[in-house]
Amino acid sequence: MSVLTIDNISKSYGGVTALENVSFEVPEGQIVGLIGPNGAGKTTLFNVITGYVAPTSGKVTLNGKDLTGQPTHRMAKLGITRTFQGVRLLNHSTVLDNVLAAQDIHAGPSLDTLFGFAGKKERQLRHEAEQLLSFFGLWERRFLPAMSLPFGDQHRLEIARALASRAPLILFDEPAAGMNPAESLELMDQLRQINRNRAKTMLVVEHDMSVVMGLCNKVVVLNFGKKIAEDTPEGIQNNPLVLEAYLGKEMDVASSKRLNN
Ligand SMILES: Nc1ncnc2c1ncn2[C@@H]1O[C@H](COP(=O)(O)OP(=O)(O)O)[C@@H](O)[C@H]1O
Ligand SMILES: [Mg+2]
């Protein structure tokens, strides 16, 4: 069954067509990759799906429910969350508080809190936060300000926040950006575990082709706002349209190399 359906989405900014009639589905439990040269429309599509920008036309549905026009703050409750290209954290808050804040939608008012006890629900949320931070190797540093972490760890913390929201569908915008090859491999392994053990469906924008090819069940390719291919990682690697789109443009040399290897 498909969790997320992108149905004929177009988005223009004045004269610039960022997306043109893009359609595809993200099936439940799968990891779908979204790739394309710089400026292809990947981030714009994430912004449309999560309500940051309204599409010019088309529809996005989550489990059959129309997402178009829903405000961003309702997205986690509706079952979808995202990470940002370049990371967005509560910079001055601690690592732990970043995760606790992301859990907020589950906390709710409770009588225990009212009477000053750490309620059962609160203890459970703290336990979950501990598990998440331990998984990403951040528990020992839970009292440090988020902004003091190295960039790779900020990425991991952002992913921990996405998981803390409990949304079953997560959109990742370049989660391996700025990581070295060993860190990318580790991240890929962690995302795989999250997909399997926590039953998360994922849509992943990523420039690092080794991550995309190693992780995804299927890959969708955008170029100049249009979908030019949708196939298995193997099919994408041998698709002449895809190679042409990457080679015909100035692009991140690293991805071109990896795509050709
Ligand atoms: N807020 C905006 N205003 C005007 N043009 C934009 C805006 N956001 C994106 N674009 C344009 O839309 C196109 C797609 O951009 P983007 O979605 O960021 O691509 P990608 O994430 O694939 O690199 C680009 O031509 C970009 O300049
Ligand atoms: Mg982008």
pLDDT attached to residue 13:
95
Q: Which of 80, 99, 105 is nearest to 201 (CA)?
A: 80
CB-count exposure of residue 217 (10 Å: 0-12, 13-18, 19+)? middle
Q: For residue 41, give the nearest of 85, 100, 97, 103 by alpha carbon.
A: 85
Ligand 1 in reach of 67 Cβ (< 6 A): no
* pTM reported for the whole predicted model: 0.88
The pocket of ion ligand 2, defined by CB under 5 A, consists of 42-43, 85
- Contact call for residues 7 and 60 (beta carbons, < 8 A): yes
Question: What is the rounded end-to-end Cα distance, in angstroms, of the chain?
Answer: 33
- Among residues 206, 201, 220, which one has the least CA distance to residue 79? 201
Give the domains, in start order, of the chain with CATH numbers.
Answer: 1-79+169-261 (3.40.50.300), 91-166 (no CATH)
Residue 37 in contact with ligand 1 by CB distance below 6 A: no
In ligand 1, the atom with minimum distance to the C-alpha of 53 is 1
Atom of ligand 1 nearest to the CA of 11: 12
Is 43 near ligand 1, meaning CB less than 6 Å away?
A: yes
Nearest CA owner, ligand 1 atom 6: 13
Per-residue pLDDT, 251: 44
Give the pLDDT of residue 253: 42
Exposed, middle or buried: residue 222 (CB in 10 Å: 0-12, 13-18, 19+)? Answer: buried
User: Average pLDDT by consecutive 10-residue portion of the chain (261 residues)?
Assistant: 95 95 97 95 95 95 91 89 88 93 71 61 89 96 96 92 93 89 91 93 90 93 97 94 78 46 40
Cα(227) to ligand 1 centroid in Å equals 15
Name the CA dihedral angle for 114, 108, 137, 87, rounded to a multiple of 10 degrees: -130
Ligand 2 centroid–CA 85 distance in Å is 6
Looking at all shown ligands, the one closest to residue 44's CA atom is 1
Helix (H, G, I), strand (E, B), or coil: what is residue 230? strand
- Residue 114: per-residue pLDDT: 56
Residue having the nearest C-alpha atom to atom 5 of ligand 1: 13
Q: Is the CB of 16 under 6 A from ligand 1?
A: yes
**Can you say whether the dihedral through the CA atoms of 106, 110, 112, 117 is positive or negative?**
positive
Q: How far is the CA of 82 from the centre of ligand 1 (A)?
A: 18
| 31 and 217 Cβ atoms separated by less than 8 Å | yes
- Helices 151-164 and 120-135, packing angle to 10 deg: 140
139 secondary structure, DSSP code: G
195 lines ligand 1 (CB under 6 A): no
- Ligand 1: does its nearest atom lie under 6 Å from the Cβ of 36? yes
Q: According to the model, what pLDDT value does residue 32 have?
A: 97
Q: Maximum distance among all alpha carbons in the chain? A: 65
Beta bridge partner(s), residue 223 = 226
Q: For residue 250, what pLDDT is reported?
A: 45
Q: What share of the chain is helix, strand, coil (3-state, %, to 5)?
A: 45, 25, 30
pLDDT score for 256 = 44
| Residue 18 CA to ligand 1 centre (angstroms) | 6
Q: Residue 108 has what pLDDT? A: 59
Identify the pLDDT of residue 3.
96
